[in-house]
Amino acid sequence: MILAGGRGKRLGGLVAKQYQLLNSISILSHSIKIFISHPRIASIQVVIHPDDIEKYKESIIGFDLAEPIFGGEERQDSSLIGLSAIYKDNPRYVMIHDAARPFITTEIINQIFQKLDLGNDCVIPGTRVKDTLKRSIGENVIETISRSNLWQIQTPQAFNFKKIYNIHKQNDGSQYTDDATMAEKHGMEVTIIESSEMNFKITTKEDIAIAQKLLIREQKTPRIGTGFDVHQFCAGSGLNLCGIRIPFHKSLFGHSDADVAIHAITDSILGAIGGGDIGALFPPNDPKWKNCNSELFLRDSLEKVNNLGGIISNIDLTIICEEPKITPFRQKMRENLAGILEVELNQVNIKATTTENLGFTGRREGIAVQAISCILL
């Protein structure tokens, strides 16, 4: 059962949020398509506002659904109306979902069914609270609340049908923010499964913008590129890796600043987009690039990705050397690369290894780096 009767006042606009378009498809339709394709979902009942019947018909073209029913004044009124409408079908379970959560996944639905099949009467998805919580009066903080064991609850909320139906029928008019809260207050045990933050509810214009970006990301094709570079040691007192200066009793020899790691990453990005290689774009015999900061090369490759409408999915880097030790600088390297490439820290991975004293790196003659980039185009 999908509740689509809200008015979306916080989002604004002339059209209720569930009928606003994401990539030419209504938010409601994005929610419907996941459930309608699931093998254990027997039917879908949508509950709408009476004023939205025409918008509803426009938005569900291509779906074979039961006729919508009109909801009530409050969310729980709409839930009871929907439950009453499907009572004749005698379902074993019911899932109640917010239409404005278009990124529900098959995996989450499967996890819910697993818990229901184990005999749980109420199963809800949620994510653990990560941020610090404060209670205030106006702008004045009066209390810091421990986030231990706190969850942000999502939908679909799943129930033993007859039990949640009876609870709704027996409710004395008390108002609840969701069906699971009503069930809890009436003595039903509620089970939480860990969900994904991607299953967020669209409430504001910022949420719409995030949803648009996520859909664009889903539609792109992953392109993989590899890069490999080697620089030998020379006399000096330090070297650059991933834009971070590392104190050392030697330096790396090169035309630019000899940042072997950034060179390998740059080549891997260029490889993924079919953009040639760093040697052709920044020739080592061109005086223009003498002692140049290699971050310029990386920023240039990022600009090429952006010009193609691409998105950097992730970077995986392997630094091969006996010395210097990489671990003490690894985090700063990741942070610097993430900043340059305008990605999250978890999209940049750096590993370090040796060749067990074999080869030129084993003889401590230099450093080799291998990079792999995934670009969505």
Tokens of 172: 């004395």
Tokens of 302: 């990022």
% of the chain beyond a pLDDT of 90: 89
Instruction: Please count the other Cβ atoms lying within 10 Å of the Cβ belonging to residue 248.
Output: 16
Coil/strand/helix, residue 300: helix
Answer for the pair 299, 270: CB distance below 8 angstroms, yes or no: no
Q: Chain-centre distance of CA 54, in angstroms?
A: 33
Domain ranges of the chain: 2-217, 220-376
- Determine the Cα angle at 301 with ends 295 and 303, to 5°: 105
Answer for the pair 252, 260: CB distance below 8 angstroms, yes or no: yes
pLDDT of residue 16: 87
Q: How many residues does the chain have?
A: 377
Please determine, for residue 8, whether its predicted confidence score (pLDDT) is greater than 80. Answer: no
The arithmetic mean of pLDDT across residues 349-373, rounded, is 97
The arithmetic mean of pLDDT across residues 351-363, rounded, is 97
Tell me the residue type at 11: L
d(CA 259, CA 262): 6
Give the position of tokens 């305008």.
Answer: 342
Please determine, for residue 216, whether its predicted confidence score (pLDDT) is greater than 90. Answer: no
d(CA 243, CA 200): 36
Position 24 confidence tier, pLDDT thresholds 50, 70, 90 = confident
pLDDT of residue 282: 95
Angle between helices 260-273 and 295-307 (to 10 degrees): 20
Please determine, for residue 13, whether its predicted confidence score (pLDDT) is greater than 90. Answer: no
d(CA 72, CA 284): 72
Tokens of 180: 């699971």
157-206 pLDDT, tens digit each: 999 999 999 999 999 989 999 999 999 999 999 999 999 999 999 999 89
pLDDT of residue 267: 98
d(CA 247, CA 236): 10
Please determine, for residue 363, whether its predicted confidence score (pLDDT) is greater than 90. Answer: yes
* Window from 97-101, 117-121, 283-287, 332-336 with minimum mean pLDDT: 283-287
Position 245 confidence tier, pLDDT thresholds 50, 70, 90 = very high
Instruction: Please count the other Cβ atoms lying within 10 Å of the Cβ belonging to residue 308.
Output: 14
The fold for domain 220-376 equals 60s Ribosomal Protein L30; Chain: A; (3.30.1330)
d(CA 59, CA 197): 26
**Helices and strands per DSSP (H, E), number in the chain:** 12, 19
The arithmetic mean of pLDDT across residues 34-62, rounded, is 94
Q: For residue 306, what are the contacts with CB-CB under 8 A and spacing of at least 6?
A: none
The arithmetic mean of pLDDT across residues 344-363, rounded, is 96
Tokens of 139: 């702008």
Please determine, for residue 10, whether its predicted confidence score (pLDDT) is greater than 70. Answer: no
| Average pLDDT over all residues of the chain | 94
Position 354 confidence tier, pLDDT thresholds 50, 70, 90 = very high
The arithmetic mean of pLDDT across residues 207-222, rounded, is 85
What is the 3-class SS of 90-134, one letter each residue? CCCEEEEEECCCCCCCHHHHHHHHHHHHCCCCEEEEEEECCCCEE
Distances (CA, A) of 122 to 7, 154, 202: 27, 13, 24
Instruction: Tell which residue, 318, 323, 325, 255, has the closest CA to residue 286.
Output: 255
Give the position of tokens 């919508």.
Answer: 68
> Phi/psi at 365 (nearest 5 deg)?
-95, -10
Answer for the pair 8, 99: CB distance below 8 angstroms, yes or no: no
Please determine, for residue 11, whether its predicted confidence score (pLDDT) is greater than 70. Answer: no
Q: Which residues pair with 123 in a beta bridge?
A: 158, 191
**Top CATH class, 2-217:** alpha beta
d(CA 225, CA 372): 6
Asked whether the domain spanning 220-376 has the same topology as the one spanning 2-217, the reply is no
Q: Which value, in Å, is the radius of gyration of the alpha carbons in the chain?
A: 28
The arithmetic mean of pLDDT across residues 27-48, rounded, is 95
d(CA 178, CA 79): 9
Answer for the pair 325, 354: CB distance below 8 angstroms, yes or no: no
d(CA 237, CA 251): 6
